[in-house]
Amino acid sequence: MNPASAIRKVFQGIATRSEMFRMFDRHKQRPNRFEGDDSALYAGEWFEIAQEQCDYMLDILPPLWIRGEMFAMREFIFGSVTSVFFTLRIDGRTRYFHGNCDLSDKGSVERMRGAIIERESRPVRAMTREERLEHIWSTTHDDYRGYAGDRWPEQMRGKRTVLLYGGSGDAVLKLLEDLSDVEIAAKLPVQFRHLPETVAA
């Protein structure tokens, strides 16, 4: 299974309601889904939503807690990982975000809040290679993404894969992490293809 980095943006732009619900379980195709604690896959993921989505989630169930500009969902994803919703003022604008936080780590919510503010306060609009790959994973239909199985070499099994179509119409299954810059650009929406690349903070 893929080890997850700490805090990571997994979608560019403002997610619609359907995109938000889809990203709540963006790893549902993982191997051995119900056989272990996969909380590390989810903890640290975040993306932007609209106010309507934030208000909707607040109204679904009584939250586990509300702390000023943040609230946590009562239902947990895995173990102590749950959804936390943030209303943040960044560069004079009020914006809304969803993040998966591990509440067993007392500092996780504040670290997530700080990471979102730092990332979204950058003066130049840009994306890291990791953000490009995560956006591709988040937006690729389930039929065209998956995990390397038994046919792959042992060291690759469990890693994320995406289906690529060549100019001749042939489909090729490739590890997400091995996509070339040209393949990444082809899979991204036009508005994100030519953004400058930044080094992750």
Taking only the tens place, the pLDDT of each residue in 104-116 is 888 999 999 999 9
pTM of the model: 0.84
Calpha distance 131→133 (Å, rounded): 5
**Confidence at 197, pLDDT banded by 50, 70, 90:** low
Helix (H) or strand (E) holding 136: helix 129-139
**Confidence at 176, pLDDT banded by 50, 70, 90:** very high
**Confidence at 191, pLDDT banded by 50, 70, 90:** low
Decide: 68 and 60 in contact? Cβ < 8 Å: no
Calpha distance 47→106 (Å, rounded): 21
Mean local confidence (pLDDT), 184-194:
73
Model pLDDT for residues 36-78, shown as the tens digit of each residue: 666 777 889 999 999 999 999 999 888 999 998 999 999 888 7
- pLDDT averaged over the chain? 85
Q: What CA–CA distances, in Å, run from 24 to 93, 139, 164?
A: 25, 13, 24
Say if residue 122's pLDDT is above 80. Answer: no
Say if residue 201's pLDDT is above 50. Answer: no
Q: One-letter amino acid identity for 1? A: M
Per-residue confidence (pLDDT) for residue 25, from 0 to 100: 82
